[in-house]
């Protein structure tokens, strides 16, 4: 990866971890997520209008098909995550989904863009996936692995793996899209469509009073999450223009380690020995990703 791509991804990972911390602190309800996505679209609407006025004629029309597919991936991810969180815990679903995406990306990247993962890249993938698995262990003992294998057979794992597939394919689509159309048009377009669509769906499912109550209780956090989400993924999209998709997504797993640190420091979460070992493996893997070719 180029030094600029590495820097973009590092800042992206830090922003991603912090908005996930804010999300967890606020309760992480569907209404909160929907409000944060809608706030994201509203906050950046003035900038998008300025860019749209300055853009060549036909820019948005050209980007529309790409935006439609991007919106589909975002909404599919929300629905899958929602189903996964109904049967499993966030601390299990989130790392498994993001770690398993690294197993999907190399073949997709090779088929689509001819990307090849070098020896350091494969070593990094192995370390990151191993770190994610170790983090799920209750203790560092042999029978704990048998317990984990039993846990991995449940529906939560299947949904997490489906989310990993969505993450992998959407990353490939994102890379294709930002090479074909203006980055701002694609990113803001699907952010607006997904924000409006998801908020409408949640409002219908949970009722307008519940959504308004969530806004009154956590509006500051919802806006902050929306802004940080835009910063995080906008930087990742910029890195995808020059960096290999597997390397960009692999290095972004640093957000898991940052999330563990924030949870321990700000939420008082206990960091077990397996979690510490898993984070160490993940950090080494991210370092290899940053230096990989």
pLDDT digits (tens, 9 = 90+) for 7-45: 888 888 888 888 878 877 887 788 998 999 999 999 999
**What gap in Å lies between CA 68 and CA 93, rounded to an integer?**
27
Residue 253's Cβ-side half-sphere holds a number of Cα atoms within 13 Å equal to: 39
**What gap in Å lies between CA 252 and CA 241, rounded to an integer?**
15
Lowest mean pLDDT among 41-45, 191-195, 228-232, 250-254: 250-254
What is the predicted pLDDT for the residue at 211?
A: 94
Runs of H (alpha helix) within the chain:
3-25, 30-43, 45-54, 59-87, 90-113, 119-135, 142-151, 155-180, 183-206, 208-240, 245-252, 254-266, 273-291
Mean pLDDT of 123-140: 84
**What gap in Å lies between CA 137 and CA 91, rounded to an integer?**
12
As given in the structure block, the two tokens for residue 1 are 């990866």
Look up tokens 């890379």; give the residue: 175
Mean pLDDT of 113-120: 80
CB 237 within 8 A of CB 9: no
* Number of neighbouring beta carbons within 10 Å of residue 105: 25
DSSP summary character for residue 181: S
Domain of residue 187: give its range.
3-291
pTM, to two decimals: 0.78
As for how many domains the chain has, the answer is 1
What is the predicted pLDDT for the residue at 91?
A: 66
């Amino acid at each position: 990866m180029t030094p600029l791509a590495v820097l973009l991804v590092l800042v992206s990972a830090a922003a991603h971890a912090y908005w996930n911390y804010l999300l967890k602190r606020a309760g992480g309800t569907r209404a909160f997520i929907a409000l944060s996505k809608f706030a994201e679209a509203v906050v950046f609407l003035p900038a998008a209008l300025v860019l749209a006025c300055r853009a060549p004629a036909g820019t948005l029309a050209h980007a529309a098909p790409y935006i439609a597919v991007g919106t589909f991936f975002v909404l599919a991810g929300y629905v899958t995550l929602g189903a996964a969180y109904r049967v499993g815990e966030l601390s299990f679903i989130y790392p498994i989904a993001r770690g398993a995406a690294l197993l999907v990306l190399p073949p997709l990247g090779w088929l689509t863009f001819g990307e090849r993962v070098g020896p350091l890249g494969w070593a990094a993938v192995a370390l990151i996936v191993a770190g994610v698995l170790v983090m799920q262990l209750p203790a560092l003992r042999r029978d704990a692995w048998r317990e984990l294998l039993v846990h991995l057979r449940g529906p939560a794992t299947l949904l997490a793996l489906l989310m990993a597939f969505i993450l992998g394919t959407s990353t490939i689509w994102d890379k294709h899209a930002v090479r074909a159309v203006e980055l701002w048009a694609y990113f803001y377009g699907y952010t607006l469509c997904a924000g409006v669509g998801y908020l409408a769906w949640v409002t219908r499912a949970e009722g307008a009073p519940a959504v308004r109550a969530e806004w009154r209780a956590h509006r500051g956090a919802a806006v902050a999450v929306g802004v940080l989400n835009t910063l995080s993924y906008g930087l990742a999209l910029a890195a995808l223009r020059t960096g290999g998709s597997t390397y960009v997504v692999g290095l972004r797993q640093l957000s898991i380690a940052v999330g563990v640190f924030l949870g321990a420091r700000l939420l008082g979460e206990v960091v077990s020995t397996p979690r510490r070992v898993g984070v160490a493996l993940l950090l080494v893997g991210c370092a290899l990703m940053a230096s990989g070719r």
